[in-house]
Structure 1
Amino acid sequence: MFKKAARWLYASPPRTLLLGFSFIILTGAVLLMLPIASVSREPTSFVDALFTATSATCVTGLVLFDTGSYFSTFGHWVILLLIQIGGIGFMTMATLFALMLRRRISLKERLILQESLNQGSIEGLVRLVRKVIFYALALELAGAVLYTIRFAIDMPLGKAIYHGVFHAISIFNNAGFDLTGTGSSFIGYAEDFYLNAVSMALIVLGGFGFIVLADLFDFRKKRKFSLHTKVVLSVSAALIVVGALVIFIFEFTNSRTIGDEHFAHKALSAFFQSVTTRSGGVATVDVAELRQATQFFMIILMFIGASPGSTGGGIKTTTFAVLVGAVLAMMRGKEDVVLFRLRLAQERVYKAITVTLFCIGIVLAGTMVLATTEDASFLKILFEATSAFGTVGLSMGLTGHLSLAGKLTIIVLMFIGRLGPLTLTYALGPKQGRALYRYAEGKIIIG
C-alpha cells in the first residue's frame, strides 16, 4: 500500500510539488505550535499554527495574530524561513543545495523544476535557478539595507537590522508579514515617501517573476526583451497606473482614508494600494474603511495578481493580457491574437481561458463556503476569499474572526492559489493518454 502511494506521489512533477509544499507547511505548523514560538510561551493550536504556516509558505500574509507581538524571535525566524522557501520555491532551494554539494541534477528533478518555475522546457533550467537565487538574495539584501537605514531612525541599530531583514524578505516575496507590532500594517508610515518607495519597488520586482528579472539584468548585453517580458512590463505598468488613478478618484473625498490628507499624500497612498494588490499584502490605509467601490476594484486587481514565475498569485498578468487580446481580436473579426506584432498559438489562448474559469470557480466556491460559515457582509467575504486565493494578504478585518470551518477554507484557498489550479488538477487527476481519435465538428450559437 505504501509503495503504491509513493509511486502515485512521484509519478508526475505536479504531485511532487503537491507533496513538497504540504510537507513544508506541516513542518512549519509543528514548529509554530511549540511554546518557544510564542511570546507568552503558550502552545499555539494546530489549526492556528497550520493557518500561519500556510500563509507564510504560500506567501499570502493573512494572519490570525499580530506577527510582531504574538510570535517570539524563534517564531519570526520560522515564518521567515517558510516565506523564503515558499517564495523562491522549495525545488529551487533543493537545487541550490544540490549544486553546492556538486551533485548532478537528474532529469526527474529538472522536470519538477520546470513545473515549479512554470517554464516551457527544461533547457537552461539550472542556469535559471542560479539566477533566481542570485537575484532574490541580491534584491533582498539591498532591501534589508534600505529598510535598516529607515528603521534605525526609530529604534536601536540591532533591532533596525532585524526589522530590515525581516521586512525585506517578506515584502520582496510578496508575503505581507510585518513586525510593526500594532496590527496596522504600514499605516504608521503612510506619509513616509522613502519607506513607501522601497516597499513598492520590492513588491513590483518580486511580482515581475524571475524570467523578467533575468531579462532586465541582461538587457545591456542582449539589447532586447522577450515577448513575455514586454507583456509583463506593459500590463503591470498599466494595472498599477490605472489602479492608482481609480483608487485616487474613489477615495479623494473619503475622510476615513485619505480624504483629509494633502494632494501628495493622497497620490502616494493611491499608488501604494494599487501596487500592493499585485500580491504585496501590506497597506498604508485601513482597507476596511475604503469605499465599497474601491474594495471591489481591489478585488479585481487581486484576482489578476502578479506575473508567472514570480512570488505572487492570481491568474497572472500574462493571462489577463491574452484574454484582453482575444476579446479585441474577436471584436475586430480577426482569427489570431497578436501581442507586440507576434501571433499567439491557439493553445495559449485556450490555456488562459481555462486558468481564468478555474480560478473564478475556485474563488466563487470558497466565497459560498465562507458565506455559509461566517457572519459577515458578502463583499467582505468575497474580498477575503480573493485575497487568500491571490496570495495577496489584504483583509477587511475578517481573518481574525474566522470560525474553524472558515480558517480551513482560507487555508485551502491559499494552498491552491500558490500551487496553481492547473498544477493541482494535474497532480490529483489521472494520467491522460494521447487521444486516438477526434469527434466530428458541431456548431452551437454563441452570444
Structure 2
Amino acid sequence: MPPPMILASLYGVLIAIGAGAFKLPFATTEPITWSDALFTSTSAVTVTGLIVVDTGTVLSLWGQMILAVMIQLGGLGLMTFAVLVLQALGLPVGLTPQLYLREDLNQTSMRNLTRLVGTILRVVLVFEAAGAVLLAFSFVPDFGWGMGIWHAIFHSISAFNNAGFSTFTPGLVPYSADPLVNLVVPLLFIAGGLGYVVFSDVFRERAKWSRYTLHTKIMLAGTAVLILWSVAMVALLEWNNPATLGAHESAGVRAMVAWFQAVTTRTAGFNTTDIGALHDSTSVMFISLMLIGGGSTSTAGGIKVTTFVIMILATIAFFRRRRELTAFGRSIGLEQVLKVMALTAISVILVFVGVFAITAAHEGDFLDIAFEVASAFGTVGLSRGFTGELNEPGRLMIMAIMFLGRVGPLTLGFFLATRTIPRVRYPEGQVHLG
C-alpha cells in the first residue's frame, strides 16, 4: 500500500478507537448511540468541530479529555506524533516512517523532515501553553480555578488545532465582548492555520522578508489580504443585522465580533454570534472562505491559501497572455499549476457531490446543506443549525466528507506524484474552450 493509503487507514483506526472511547460509561453523562460516538470521533480527529452531542453537558470531564486528545492527535498528525515519540525514546527514525511523515506533512522531499518535526513541537508547546495561561484570566473568574484552567486548556488546544470545539453550550457567544478571548483565540487558530513550514522559515530567517521562501511569502501575504477582506465584508453585511452584529449597541463590540467571526471562518469554526441568523449573502461568502481554508502543513483544511493564490495568478497570467507564472520574483512551474487545477477540480466535485447526495437523501434548506458540506470539507465546524437535523445517511455523508477533507489531499498527492513517461508523442490538436 502506498504511504497515503497507510496514513488514511491509520486515521480511520484512530477514529474507531475514539468512537469506542466515547462509548465508555465514564466518558458521557448520559448514554449516546454509536452513531453519535462515531460522528464525534470523526469530527475530532479531522479537527472539524461539527457536533451532534453537546460537548459541555453530554461529555463528562473524562470525555472532554478524550476529545482533547483526539483533537491534538488529529491536528498534530499521527506520523508527526509517532516521530516525536521515537525521538523522545532516543530511537532512530527509519526510511519508512520518514516516507509516511513526508506524506503526512504534505512535503515533496524528505530533506530536513526531522528538523521540521522539532519546529512543530516547539510551536505547539509555546502557543498552546501561552494560550491556556492567557485564557485562564477570562475563564477562572467565571468557573473557579479547577474548571477555569481546564476550560482554558481545552480551548487553547481546540483553537490552535483549528478544531472549533467548545466546552460551552452556546460556544464563545458569552465572551463576544471579552477583548482577551477575542484576541487570544483568533491568534491561536491563525497561527495554527499558517502551517509549520512558515514557522520554520520565519524562525530560520527571522524578520528578513527577502530571504523567506516563496511559499512563506504567498502564505503571509495571502492570509493578510483574506483577513482584511473578510473582516470588512462581515462588518459591511452584518453591521445592522439585529440578530448578529446589530444585537450589540457598542460599535467596538460589533467590530470585535466582525473580526472574530471573519477570521474563524476559514479555519477554526468558533462562533461569537448566531451563525444561523447570518444574512444569506454572508453565508455564501462564508462558504467561499471555508473552501479556501488555511495553509499547507497546518491544522486547517480547505484547498489551502497557496492553492487559491496560484489559481488566481494563473488566471491573471492567462488573460495577460503570459507563458510564465511568477510571484515575488520567483517562477512557478507548470507541474505546480496542474496540481492546483487538479486539487481545485476534485474539491469542487467532492463538494457538489456531497451537496447533491445530502439534498437527495435529506429534506432541508439548500443553503443550510451547502453550508454544512463546505464546513465539513474545509474541516471548519461552523453550522447554520443543520448538523443536529441530519438523518443517518446524511451523517455518514458528512463524516465521509470530513474524512476526505482531512486525508484526501494525501491520497491525491500520491497519484499526482506518480510520474509516467509517455512512449508516444502525438501531434498537438486544437480545442475550443470558454
Query: Fold-level match, TM-score > 0.5?
Result: yes
Q: Distance in 2 between matches of 1:284 and 1:164?
A: 16
Aligned to 2:433: 446
How is 1:250-329 mapped onto 2 (pairs within 5 angstroms)? 250-261=237-248, 262-329=250-317
The answer for the alignment partner of 1:116 in structure 2 is 104
Structure 2 residue aligned with 1:21, among 11, 14, 21? Answer: 11
Q: Matches of residues 78-157 of structure 1 in structure 2 within 5 Å?
A: 78-157=66-145
Q: Provide TM-score, normalisation by structure 1.
A: 0.94
Matched to 1:208, the amino acid is: L
Within 1, Cα distance between the matches of 2:100 and 2:75?
Answer: 16
| CA drift at 1:133 | 1.3
Question: How many correspondences in the alignment?
Answer: 432
Distance in 2 (CA, whole Å) between partners of 1:200 and 1:405 is 34
Distance in 1 separating the partners of 2:114 and 2:417? 29
Letter in 2 for 1:227: L
Partner of 1:415: 403
Does the 8 Å CA contact 2:106/2:410 hold for their aligned counterparts? Answer: no
Q: Which residue of the other structure, out of 384, 399, 405, is the alignment partner of 2:393?
A: 405
User: Cα deviations across residues 200-229 of structure 1 (Å, max 9, x unaligned)?
Assistant: 100100000001122223333866311111
Question: CA–CA distance in 2 between the matches of 1:346 and 1:427?
Answer: 18
Which residue type is aligned with residue 408 of structure 1? L
The CA deviation at 1:82 is: 0.7
The residue that corresponds to 2:236 in the other structure is 249
Which residue pairs with 1:212 in the alignment? 198
The change in CA–CA distance for 1:432 and 1:230 in structure 2 (over 3 A counts) is closer
User: Whole-Å Cα distance in 1 between the matches of residues 394 and 83 of structure 2?
Assistant: 36
Distance 2:385 2:322 in 1: 46
**Structure 1 residue 121: Cα displacement:** 0.7
Aligned Cα RMSD in Å? Answer: 1.7
- In the TM superposition, what whole-angstrom CA distance separates every residue of 1:316-343 from its partner, at most 9, and x where no partner exists? 0000000110111112111111111211
- Supply the AA of the counterpart residue of 1:157: W
From the superposition, tell whether residues 211 and 269 of structure 1 become closer, same or farther in structure 2 (CA, over 3 Å): same
Match of 1:237 among 216, 224, 240: 224
Distance 1:137 1:23 in 2: 26
Give TM-score, length-normalised by structure 2. 0.96
Distance 1:434 1:48 in 2: 48
The SS at the match of 1:395 is: coil
**Aligned mates of 1:265, 1:443 — CA distance in 2:** 57
State the match for 1:225 in structure 2: 212
Aligned to 1:5: none
Structure 2 equivalent of residue 56 of structure 1: 44
Which residue does 2:175 correspond to in 1?
189
Task: Compute the displacement of 1:359 (Å).
Answer: 0.2
Give the fraction of aligned pairs with identical amino acids, expressed as a percent.
38
Residue 98 of structure 1 contacts residue 104 of structure 1 at CA under 8 Å; is this kept in 2?
yes
Query: Mean Cα displacement is larger for which, 275-284 or 220-229?
Result: 220-229
Please give the secondary structure, in 2, of the residue aligned with 1:59.
coil
1:423 Cα offset (Å) = 2.5
Structure 1 gaps, min length 5: 1-10
User: 2:187 pairs with 177, 186, 201, which one?
Assistant: 201
More off after superposition, 58-67 vs 275-284: 275-284
Whether the aligned pair in 2 keeps the contact of 1:59 and 1:173 (CA below 8 Å) is yes
Please give the alpha-carbon distance, in whole angstroms, between the structure 2 residues aligned to 1:168 and 1:429: 35
Q: CA deviation at 1:286?
A: 0.5
> What is the aligned partner in structure 1 of residue 327 from structure 2?
339
* CA displacement at 1:240 relative to structure 2: 0.9
In structure 1, C-alpha distance between the alignment counterparts of 2:227 and 2:416, rounded to whole Å: 37
Query: In structure 1, how many angstroms separate the alpha carbons of the residues matched to 2:417 and 2:114?
Result: 29
- Corresponding residue for residue 3 of structure 1: none
Deviation track 1:355-393 (CA, whole Å, cap 9, x = no partner) reads 001000000000011111222111100000000000000
Matched, 1:377 2:365: yes
Distance 1:331 1:306, change over 3 A: same
The alignment partner of 1:338 has SS state of strand
Gaps of 5+ in 2: none
In structure 2, the residue matched to 1:70 is: 58
Counterpart residue type for residue 410 of structure 2: T
Q: Which moved more, 1:153-162 or 1:288-297?
A: 153-162
Deviation at 1:274, TM superposition (A): 1.1
Amino acid across the alignment from 2:235: F
Letter paired with 1:373: A
Task: Please say which of residues 310-319 and 44-53 is displaced more in the overlay.
Answer: 44-53
* Residues in 2 aligned to 1:207 and 1:425: alpha-carbon distance in whole angstroms: 21
8 Å Cα contact 1:416-1:424 kept in structure 2: no
How far apart are residue 432 of structure 1 and its match?
7.0
| CA shift in 2, pair 1:48/1:435, >3 Å | farther
Give the letter aligned to residue 197 of structure 1.
L
Aligned equivalents of 1:87, 1:445: Cα separation in 2: 44
| Residue identity matched to 2:191 | L
C-alpha separation in 1, matches of 2:321 and 2:288: 27
Amino acid at match of 1:89: G
- 8 Å contact from structure 1 (residues 241, 271) kept in 2: no
| CA distance 1:412–1:147, change in 2 (3 Å) | same
Q: Taking structure 1 as reference, are residues 151 and 331 closer, same or farther at Cα in structure 2, changes over 3 Å only?
A: same
Measured in 1, the distance between the counterparts of 2:40 and 2:374 equals: 18
Q: Quick one: distance in 2 between partners of 1:429 and 1:47?
A: 34
Secondary structure class of the residue paired with 1:307: coil
C-alpha distance 428-398 of structure 1, shift in aligned 2 (>3 A): farther
Query: Contact 1:89–1:116 at 8 Å: present in 2 too?
Result: yes
